[in-house]
């Protein structure tokens, strides 16, 4: 069995049962005028990880392993957007409002799209999710079950919100989870560091963390 060098100990790779899950690498989180920026965040932190996310995606494709993309987004009629979510955060633009890249976080709008450098290719699964976690109100659990996936490598944004929420639920659902450290980012460096630390604490209580280079070398 191949092992990926990881923290707190080596990750026991099952090459026939692993998938990459790329969380929410959308223009709305990475570009000025989007949702992330409307909350007062420095979005340049997110664009800086694009080359590492791209390397990871291309490595999985080259290895013939599944790549799954998620997008945080809502229906145009906002029927899947609870008031508790829309009204939170006091942003200058709320979810559903018309911004410079179209309606914020609404399916089909330009700003909601995945960054072009990281765009899904034919055959890759794209999960549209109304929550922070990728299992809530989506078909992700069924898709993974149908494909016999038991291990998930995570990349994307933001580390402590949508990535961590998804990873924690995946862990509860019995998946072995590995976070690619250079391929995830937060608007708050201290939140990224804390998330990485808490994931791998207590003997990998939520999962493992590893460097992109080590993941790529082991899968290929
Ligand atoms: C947030 C996300 N932070 N994708 N979404 O609202 O992490």
Q: List the catalytic residue out of 28, 73, 132, 162.
A: 162
- CB under 6 Å to ligand 1: residues? 24, 29, 72, 132, 157-158, 161-162
Q: Is 192 a catalytic residue?
A: no
Percentages of the chain per state (helix, strand, coil), in multiples of 5: 40, 25, 40
Q: How far is the CA of 220 from the centre of ligand 1 (A)?
A: 30
- Residue from 193, 216, 214, 196 nearest 204 by CA: 196
Q: State pTM to two decimals.
A: 0.98
| Residue-wise pLDDT tens digits, 55-98 | 999 999 999 999 999 999 999 999 999 999 999 877 788 999 99
Strand 11-12 with 67-72, pairing: unpaired
Cα angle 57, 53, 166 (rounded to 5 degrees) comes to: 90
Q: Write out pLDDT tens, residues 145-180.
A: 999 999 999 999 999 999 999 999 999 999 999 999
Closest CA to 145 of 163, 124, 170, 177: 170
pLDDT band at 102 (very low <50, low <70, confident <90, very high): very high
What pLDDT is stored for residue 91 in this prediction?
76
**In this predicted structure, what is the pLDDT of residue 89?**
79
Handedness of CA 161, 83, 25, 145 (dihedral sign): positive
Which DSSP category does 111 fall into? Answer: G
* 3-state DSSP assignment of residue 153: strand
Active site residue 129: yes
- Distance of CA 33 from the midpoint of ligand 1 (Å): 15
């Amino acid at each position: 069995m191949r092992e990926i060098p990881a923290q707190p100990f080596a990750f026991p790779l099952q090459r026939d049962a692993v998938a990459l899950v790329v969380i929410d690498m959308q223009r709305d989180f990475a570009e000025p005028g989007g949702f992330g920026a409307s909350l007062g965040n420095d979005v340049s932190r997110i664009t800086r990880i694009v080359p590492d996310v791209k390397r990871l995606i291309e490595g999985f494709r080259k290895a013939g392993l599944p790549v799954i993309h998620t997008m945080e987004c809502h229906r145009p009629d906002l029927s899947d957007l609870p008031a508790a979510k829309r009204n939170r955060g006091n942003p200058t633009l709320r979810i559903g409002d018309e911004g410079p890249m179209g309606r914020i976080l609404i399916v089909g709008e330009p700003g909601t799209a995945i960054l072009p450098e990281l765009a899904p290719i034919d055959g890759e699964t794209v999960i549209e999710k109304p929550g922070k976690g990728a299992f809530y109100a989506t078909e992700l659990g069924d898709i993974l079950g149908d494909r016999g996936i038991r291990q998930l490598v995570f990349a994307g944004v933001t580390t402590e919100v949508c990535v961590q929420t998804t990873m924690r639920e995946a862990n509860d659902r019995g998946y072995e989870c590995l976070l690619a450290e250079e391929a995830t980012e937060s608007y708050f460096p201290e939140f990224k560091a804390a998330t990485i630390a808490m994931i791998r604490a207590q003997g990998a209580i939520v999962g493992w963390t590893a460097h992109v280079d080590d993941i790529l070398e082991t899968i290929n």
